Structure formats: structure tokens, C-alpha cells
Amino acid sequence: MARAVTRKAKITAGSAVPEKQTGAKPARRASSPGRPARLSRERLLEKSMELLVEHSVEGFTLARVADALDTVSMALYNYFPSREALLNAVADHICKQFRMPKAKAGQAWQDTLRAWLWAVKKHAEKNPVIFKVMGVDGRTSAGWLSITHTVGKTLHEQGLRDRDLAAAVWLFCSQAIGLLLSEYGQGSFRSSLSLSQLEQLGPEQQAFFLELRSYHVPLTTEELLEEGFNDLIANLERKIALLGKK
């Protein structure tokens, strides 16, 4: 009798399967709401970065993150108070991985900025999501500000101040981002396929672009960025030279 009672209790508790159901798949037990397995801040950041690769910032929601983690949105609030807080955390997480090459003794300011530009390029290749989270809802992330500090400090040491310094830092960083985005997001414009709609242009325009086609295709990312980066630095050289004439 004791054995029968024990067996019945186990079956009732769901820890055993009656003999007549042997071989049948047990029903999947639903996860308890608000208690996701192995959920952590690190896991949230990792999944958020994965989603941002596929979706725009506008399409990024806590509900989408929760769904990807097979949990509920309310569980995420234990780690981040809002969508904006999560996006900012992603930005900071990515930006903290940025590494500026160590400067050589007596290194020229131009070489410092050139090293910065190539370091940003390398970092963006590894973490393309940085372009989407360097600014959230019109506010620059703290992580991206920390990266651009090198530019501001370098130009300040060359004598730029106040409005001139603010404008120079903003333009330099913005134009650098523009170059990288244009190359990695729209580099296909230099391929032969980019001229597939050429027949819709007039004869003179067609001839112009056909002449350039042979030069567009072999251009490499490194060549274009090298030239673009040199132009950015040359522009700063002109501004700094004007300061010495005042």
C-alpha cells in the first residue's frame, strides 16, 4: 500500500510517466513569466548587438529583445530601466573596446589623427553596430564622446580654441564617419553593377560614366580612405596655419 501511494504521488507531481504512456514525448513546460533562464546584463547586450545588425535603431524595442531571448519585456527592466538605457549601454560596451595606438616619442599631431582615423576604421569593421548607437535620440553616447576626446585634445594642443575648436572637432569626426559609412554601406557604387541603369541616361552622360567605369572598379577601400583621411588632415593643417598668421 505504501508503495502504491508513493508511486501515485510521483505521477501526480509530474516526475514520472505512467507505463501506458511510455515512449510519448512529455509536454513542454512553459517558462515562468519574469523568470528567464540564464538572463544577465551581458546576455542582454550580446543579443541587442545581434538584433541591431539586422534591424534599424527605430525598429529596436525591448519587446523584440525579450522575444529573441524567449522571455518577457518586464524581465529586462531588472537590468535596464528603458530602451534608451539599453542602447546607451550597448554604445558604451562597444566604445570601451576601442584601442588607440600608443603614440611614439615626438609624434606629429597629423600622425596622431591619422592613427586615430585608422583605429576607428578597424574598430568599425569589427563592430559595425557602432554607427547605429554612437548617438541615441539626438544625444551622443558617452562611449563615442570618449573616443572623440583624442581629436579634441590633439587640436587643442595645436592652438584651436572655443568656436574654432568645437567646429573643427565636429567636422573632422563627422566627415570621418561619413567616409566610413559611404565606403562600407555604399561601396557597391563602384562596381560594374552600379551602372546597370546607365541606359536611362542621355548619350553624353552615358559616355561620361562609361569612361570612369574602368577606374571605379579597381579602387580599393584602403586607397579611398587613405586619400579621404589625408584630405581631412590637410584641411586642419590649413586652419592651424591660419592661426599662426593672426
Alpha-carbon distance of 136 to 83, in angstroms, equals 10
Q: What is the 3-state secondary structure (H, E, C) of the chain?
A: CHHHHHHHHHHHHCCCCCHHHCCCCCCCCCCCCCCCCCCCHHHHHHHHHHHHHHCCCCCCCHHHHHHHCCCCHHHHCCCCCCHHHHHHHHHHHHHCCCCCCCCCCCCCHHHHHHHHHHHHHHHHHHCCCHHHHCEECCEECHHHHHHHHHHHHHHHHCCCCHHHHHHHHHHHHHHHHHHHHHHHHHHHHHCHHHHCCHHHCCHHHHHHHHHHHHHHCCCCHHHHHHHHHHHHHHHHHHHHHHHHHC
Residue 60 shares a structural domain with residue 142: no
pTM of the model: 0.80
On whether residue 117 sits in a domain, the answer given is yes
Residue 138 shares a structural domain with residue 53: no
Beta-bridge mates of residue 52? none
Would you state the pLDDT for residue 195?
76
Residue 157 shares a structural domain with residue 217: yes
Domain holding 186, by residue range, is 109-245
Residue 69 shares a structural domain with residue 149: no
On whether residue 31 sits in a domain, the answer given is no
Would you state the pLDDT for residue 183?
84
Give me 66's grid cell.
525579450
Would you state the pLDDT for residue 196?
79
Residue 226: give its domain's CATH number. 1.10.357.10
On whether residue 87 sits in a domain, the answer given is no
Would you state the pLDDT for residue 33?
52
Alpha-carbon distance of 235 to 217, in angstroms, equals 28
Residue 59: give its domain's CATH number. 1.10.10.60
Give me 108's grid cell.
606629429
Residue 41 shares a structural domain with residue 116: no
On whether residue 24 sits in a domain, the answer given is no
Residue 180 shares a structural domain with residue 59: no
* Number of domains making up the chain: 2
> Would you give per-residue pLDDT tens digits along the chain (246 residues)?
444 444 433 333 333 333 334 444 444 344 445 454 579 999 999 999 999 999 999 999 999 999 999 999 999 999 999 999 999 999 999 999 999 999 999 999 999 999 999 999 999 999 999 999 998 888 999 999 999 999 999 999 999 999 999 999 999 999 999 999 988 765 566 666 777 788 999 999 999 988 888 887 788 889 999 999 999 999 999 999 998 777
Give me 48's grid cell.
541587442
Alpha-carbon distance of 31 to 135, in angstroms, equals 36
